[in-house]
Amino acid sequence: MADVGGNDGGNGDANGADNDEGNGNDDEVNDDWATRHIGIATVHRVTIGKRQWFPEAQEHNGRIYITLTKADATLCLLVTGKAQNRHSKKEVHNLNVEWWQDTKQKRNDACTAMLRAHMMAGMKEGEPQPRFRQAREDDRFLIAQEISVWLPPFTSSDGVEFEGISCRMLWHVKSKDLHVELNETNLGYIFAALECSHPIEKKEKAPKGEQDAPKSPRRRRRLKRRKSQESEGASHPADAQEGASHGPE
Statement: residue 49 has pLDDT above 80: yes
Q: Rounded to an integer, what distance in angstroms lies between the CA atom of residue 197 and that of residue 192? A: 9
The helix or strand, by DSSP H or E, that contains position 239, with its residue range, turns out to be: helix 237-246
Q: Decide: helix, strand or coil at residue 102.
A: helix
Query: Which of 42-46, 121-125, 172-176, 234-238 is predicted with the least confidence, judged by mean pLDDT?
Result: 234-238
Q: Is residue 114 in some structural domain? A: yes
Q: Is residue 137 in some structural domain? A: yes
Q: Is residue 105 in some structural domain? A: yes
Q: Decide: helix, strand or coil at residue 174.
A: coil
Q: Rounded to an integer, what distance in angstroms lies between the CA atom of residue 3 and that of residue 13? A: 19
pLDDT digits (tens, 9 = 90+) for 97-154: 999 999 999 999 999 999 999 988 877 787 888 788 999 999 999 899 999 999 999 9
pLDDT digits (tens, 9 = 90+) for 164-220: 999 999 999 999 999 999 999 999 999 999 999 999 877 666 555 555 555 677 787
Q: Is residue 83 in some structural domain? A: yes
Q: Is residue 236 in some structural domain? A: no
Domain carrying residue 159: 3-15+42-196
- Describe the crossing of helices 73-80 and 184-196 by its angle, rounded to 10 degrees: 90
Q: Is residue 184 in some structural domain? A: yes
Q: Decide: helix, strand or coil at residue 233.
A: helix
Q: Rounded to an integer, what distance in angstroms lies between the CA atom of residue 189 and that of residue 145? A: 23
What one-letter code names the amino acid at 80? T
Which residues are paired to 179 by β-bridges? 67
Q: Is residue 228 in some structural domain? A: no
Q: Rounded to an integer, what distance in angstroms lies between the CA atom of residue 11 and that of residue 6? A: 13
**The total number of structural domains that make up the chain:** 1
